[in-house]
Copies of this chain bind each other. A is one copy, B any other.
Amino acid sequence: MRRMKILLTTVALITAGTALGGAALSTAALANDEVIKLAKDPKNWAMQLGNYEGQRYSTLDQINAQNVKNLKVDWSFSTGVLRGHEGGPLVVGDTMYVHTPFPNNVYALSIKDKGRILWKYEPRQDPNVIPVMCCDTVNRGVTYADGKIFLAQADNTLVALDAKSGEVVWKVSNGDAAKGETLTANPVVIKDKVFVGISGGEFGVRGHLTAYDIKDGKMAWRAYSNGPDADVKIDPQKTLMLGKPIGDKDLGVTTWPGDEWKIGGGTTWGWYTYDPQLNLIYYGTGNPGTWNPTQRAKDGKREGSDNKWSMTIFARDADTGEARWLFQKTPFDEWDFDGVNENILADLTVKGKPVKALVNFDRNGFGYTLDRTTGELLVAEKYDPAVNWASHVDLKTGRPQVDDKYSTFAGGADTNVQGICPAALGSKDQQPASFSPDTGLFYVPTNHICMDYEPFQVAYSAGQPYVGATLSMYPAPNSHGGMGNFIAWDAGTGKIVWSKPEAFAVWSGALTTKGGVAFYGTLEGYLVAVDMKDGKELYRFKTPSGIIGNINTFEHAGKQYVAVLSGVGGWAGIGLAAGLNDPHAGLGAVGAHAALGQYTNLGGVLTVFTLPD
């Protein structure tokens, strides 16, 4: 049956175009236009990040700062899966698409019928993939394009489902769990290709971004995060760094000791954004392989050991994959400050000049504003006052000024370095921020947690943890009990406009709206609405489980709705999610959040809110 369908499709393509290539191109353009159109219509929530720019902003304003206090739950839906629910529901027309963590079920729900299940996709995956998922069995959501739903399964299967029926159109393997490779990311569709990265930075996985043909899943290209220029798709004469060509060749090899780059991390499990005018796709790479920096230093020195291109923002041509520009935020990482956080595209005024900007809130605690055309660095300031590992970032070189007191390399392996801020889970992790064109500000869910870090020598073995560090995490000093903040950020000046403290890390993605209300979730399970002007709390509702998902909004039959997936877990809630009793297990995250167990339990539930009639 499957074979028959493919044959029919091929025949149709041949009929429609003069050649297969031409047909594919024309269909591709349609797919891209459709996504842009759907994302522009605020009735939908057609992309996980709201639009290609990753702004997580809606022009809906029925729910506003005056009436949001009246918000009520309209309906709810259990996903039937425990553990951490990252990402959120997509809304395309009358249908909502909800995903789960492993085993990565997908449900198409009728919005009109308050969650009646139109179809379900429940893949059978080998549970042996679970032990190689470092930080819970999360998945950051499905993608809609071209009448298909794209899902990156934990077991490295990238699958395209028919959006109407849930039937598998095609599937392809993007990696090998036996090597520690897994998938957690939200794919993005640009033109005729679907893009997805790879997870496994704690297993020595070599990161890459791969483009597949949306029609049949055929690989178009793969760009690695490290290794020779050819693999990374760098042309040192053309690819820009801080606005100038890199010049030096093969830095993805030469900034590593020996063959360490081959197990060099730089995984790509964060979010992907896109500028249709520039035709550039933006994403970041994660920590270099093994957290123990002494194993990554050439001749025992920090100098010359940048471990490129880990911790790097890449801007690639979406057709060819060639790197247009790149920027390494944390050369020679010593703290697991994965550089994978979302790159939000917005047109800003920076130092009096209009800029096509890219704004990134890195795990390392610095908020970066770059020119997204050239990659020039414009602003780099701390968005978490606790940050102490570096005093500042030199705008000319892009390099942080590391404080040796908090270096985990300076004292060598087996030295316990105390009081590093932020902790490995960063001042912000994967939880995506929001940009409001109305206020010109960014609304950022943040963590406020510090750590002690002791690196140790570790041997690489495929599929085994390649961490090489023992961590302990705890609230930042003078945090007044708050391990998280929801902040408004001026990316033109690099300043916090206001900051609202929360008891735990704010591990949920933010939403802003034309109604003047910003939304986020808390690890205890509260959906919170605040006034975008001043952060004043307007509404707080206790959902069934802790929220590490992202808040979305949509319109149906003339009413605005707000939707969120609850389901505590993720790295922040790994203690609860994996049932760890040792508060210092789970890469140390449990210590800081052990008290979470007093507030919430596991359980994936979608909650849909609206105003009373």
> Which residues of the other chain, B, contact A70 by a CB distance below 8 angstroms?
612
Residue A125 at the chain B interface, CB threshold 8 Å: no
Given A73-B72, A544-B544, A612-B70: A78 and B117 within 8 A (CB)?
A: no
Q: Write out the residue numbers on chain B whose beta carbons fall within 8 Å of the beta carbon of A604.
A: 603
| B residues near A115, Cβ cutoff 8 Å | 542, 599
Closest to A540 in B: B114
* Contact A77 to B601, CB < 8 A, known contacts A114-B542, A542-B114, A544-B544: yes
List B contacts of A606 (CB < 8 A): 544
Given the complex of chains A and B, what is the CA–CA distance between A73 and B123 in angstroms?
A: 33
Report how far A543 CA is from B607 CA in the complex, Å: 9
Identical chains in the assembly: 2
Across-interface contacts of A605 in B (CB, < 8 A): 76, 78, 544, 603, 605
Residue A533, interface by CB 8 Å: no
Q: Does A186 contact B (CB under 8 A)?
A: no
- Residue-wise, chain A 73-111 has the 8 Å CB interface mask toward B (1 for contact) of 101111110100000000000000000000000010000
A77 to B78, CA, bound (A): 12
The chain B residue with its CB closest to the CB of A114 is B542
Asked if A545 is at the interface (CB within 8 A of a chain B CB), the reply is yes
A604 to B601: give the CA distance in the assembly, Å.
Answer: 10
Query: What is the CA–CA distance of A360 and B542 in the complex, to the nearest angstrom?
Result: 39
- Chain B residues near A600 (CB-CB < 8 A): 77-78, 117
Query: In this assembly, does A566 line the interface, its C-beta being within 8 Å of a C-beta of chain B?
Result: yes
Complex contact A599–B75 (CB within 8 A) = no
Per the bound structure, the CA–CA distance linking A566 and B545 in Å amounts to 14
B80 touches A602 (CB 8 A): yes
Docked CA distance A115–B598 (Å)? 9
Q: Please determine whether B541 and A75 come into contact, CB atoms closer than 8 angstroms.
A: yes
Choose among A76, A77, A114, A604 the residue with the greatest number of B CB atoms under 10 Å from its CB: A76
Known contacts A73-B72, A544-B544, A604-B603; is A566 also within 8 Å of B78 by CB? yes
CB distance from A275 to the nearest CB of B (A): 38
Which residues from chain B contact A545 at a C-beta distance below 8 Å? 78, 80
Query: B residues within 8 A CB of A116?
Result: 598-599
Question: What mask results when residues 586 to 613 of chain A are scored 1 for a CB within 8 Å of chain B, else 0?
Answer: 0000000000011111111111000010
* Residues of B with C-beta under 8 A to A603: 78-80, 603-605
List of B residues within 8 angstroms of A598 by Cβ: 116-117
Checking B73, B78, B599, B602 against A602 with a beta-carbon cut-off of 8 angstroms, the contacting residue is: B78
Interface size of A by CB at 8 A reads 36
In angstroms, Cα B603 to Cα A567, docked, is: 11
Nearest chain B CB to A175's CB is how many angstroms away?
28
Bound-complex Cα distance A117 to B596 (A): 10
**Cβ A76 vs Cβ B543 within 8 A:** yes
| Residue contact B79 to A601, C-beta cutoff 8 Å | yes
In the complex, per-residue mask of A137-159: 1 if CB is within 8 Å of any chain B CB, else 0? 00000000000000000000000
Give A105's nearest chain B residue, CB to CB: B601
Q: Find chain B residues with CB under 8 A from A80 CB.
A: 82, 545, 601-603
Chain B nearest CB from A170 CB (Å) reads 25
Query: Least Cβ distance of A514 to chain B in Å?
Result: 25
Chain B residue nearest to A98 (CB atoms) is B601
Q: Are B117 and A75 in touch, CB under 8 angstroms?
A: no
| Of A80, A541, A566, most B-chain CB atoms within 10 Å | A80
A111 nearest CB across to chain B (Å):
12
Q: In the complex, what distance in Å separates the CA atom of A79 from the CA atom of B597?
A: 12
Query: What CA separation (Å) do A447 and B545 show in the bound complex?
Result: 33
Residue of B nearest to A541 (CB): B75
**Distance to closest chain B CB from A296 (angstroms):** 40
4 extra interchain contacts, Cβ-Cβ under 8 A, other than A79-B603, A117-B601? A75-B541, A78-B567, A78-B605, A115-B542
Q: Can you list 22 residue pairs at the A/B interface with Cβ under 8 Å?
A: A72-B72, A72-B612, A73-B76, A76-B76, A76-B544, A77-B601, A78-B566, A78-B567, A78-B603, A80-B82, A80-B545, A80-B602, A80-B603, A107-B601, A116-B599, A117-B598, A117-B601, A120-B597, A544-B544, A544-B606, A603-B605, A612-B612
**Which 6 A-B pairs give the minimum distances between C-beta atoms?**
A78-B603, A80-B601, A78-B544, A75-B542, A78-B545, A73-B73
